[in-house]
Structure 1
């Protein structure tokens, strides 16, 4: 089990101003699968994603991530766990002064210089898989919005993370690019036994999920597997 969540609750603010964002969430997520998390704006999707991704501290409940309990985890533990994760956000967050290839290599910095040298061919390979082989040395200002997002996806995947958390990763992509990116995420899950959790409303890619979990007002309300396509 990559992720095991029990009775997870989370809120923002203090006292009478406190707003509850998550209510008694129970969820198990398995390695080797692409799980899609759906729900309206404000349903708690991003809050859940940031808690599982060690970007926020767990307040109440149990979250076991790759066997590590996150409740009461100290900062050093959260940093160590984040090094095993890949993150893809709707905002690409590329460095304007670095080329596409250099931006992808930033994904290896947390693993040290030896890892960066070892994985040097992987940078170009991933960008090639995402249709950017001719733009390795382009700056972000020379790329379209969809191309920037594909660079961000490559940066998240280059270090072979154990888990990938993706928040609306295909929002800026056209249909073909979106399908290409999600097929890559799904192949990564299956071939490397990686866990992929993706928040999306994108109807173009939902059917590619192994599992679809839906949230409403901070609660899980549906958990299903799409019917196998012929």
Structure 2
């Protein structure tokens, strides 16, 4: 059965955004119209200040849409209610450059939080199920032997991989990633991107990633280039 947004889970039409007020008001996004393909890895590139992260936060329900249209999984985000935005966020996974782990929780417990915030199962059933799912994701990112480690006992790259596992453990329909490989060495970074690609191929997970990491660009299904808030190039690749 088809669902809204199956082919293009993200669609923007003439999307604009401003920061500041009065004379300090400055436009950051100009007339961006974009259709993001389902199950693909789309990478946003461009110089600092080009609007990449602003666009990511707009289509990811992290910033209010001011002008134009942004549709996420069939839900219009412009003037959406808080309940509608919350429902949309529960279908998403987020990976940021800062890992934002809870220092008092183990790696396994941090990953479990990706499930617990949505409370998808009854308390009597969730504990064992959540542990199994969290352990599985930690294995996928190469940290199966670090499940009981606190963040203070993990390297920067290991912390980021825990954050990746936390974002993916709930099987999100869309993953938004902002510089997810910045703290990783080349091999670890490519492994993370390969995992995101595999999720797209096997589960239909759509990934939109902002990066300055030229080492992973060849793994993209599509590269969209922004300059000064405008799309100036859009390349799709046969993969």
TM interval, short-chain normalised: over 0.9
**Cα deviation, residue 119, structure 1:** 3.9
2:221 is equivalent to residue 215 of structure 1: no
How many residue pairs end up in the alignment?
228
| TM-score, length of structure 2 as denominator length | 0.92
- Decide whether the 8 Å contact of 1:207 with 1:226 is kept in 2: no
How far is 1:110 from its partner?
Answer: 2.6
Structure 1 contact 59–71 (Cα < 8 Å) conserved? yes
1:131 to 142, 147, 150: 142
Aligned to 2:55: 48
**Counterpart pick for 1:103 among 85, 110, 123:** 110
Q: 1:131 to 1:8 in 2, by over 3 A?
A: same
Report the Cα distance in structure 1 between the residues aligned to 2:138 and 2:72, rounded to whole angstroms. 29
Residues 61 and 89, structure 2, Cα contact 8 Å, conserved in 1: yes
Find the counterpart in structure 2 of residue 19 from structure 1.
26
The answer for the alignment partner of 1:188 in structure 2 is: 199
Structure 1 residue ranges, 4+ long, deviating more than 6 angstroms after superposition: none
What are the equivalent positions in structure 2 for 1:1-230 lying under 5 Å apart? 1-112=8-119, 114=121, 116-117=126-127, 118-226=129-237
* Unpaired segments ≥5 residues, structure 2: 1-7
- Give me the whole-angstrom Cα distance separating, in 2, the residues matched to 1:223 and 1:120: 41
Note the C-alpha offset of 1:76. 1.5
Describe the SS at the equivalent of 2:48.
coil
**Whole-Å Cα distance in 2 between the matches of residues 53 and 113 of structure 1?**
21
Partners of 1:119 and 1:193 lie apart in 2 by 22
Q: Which runs of 5+ in 1 are unaligned?
A: none
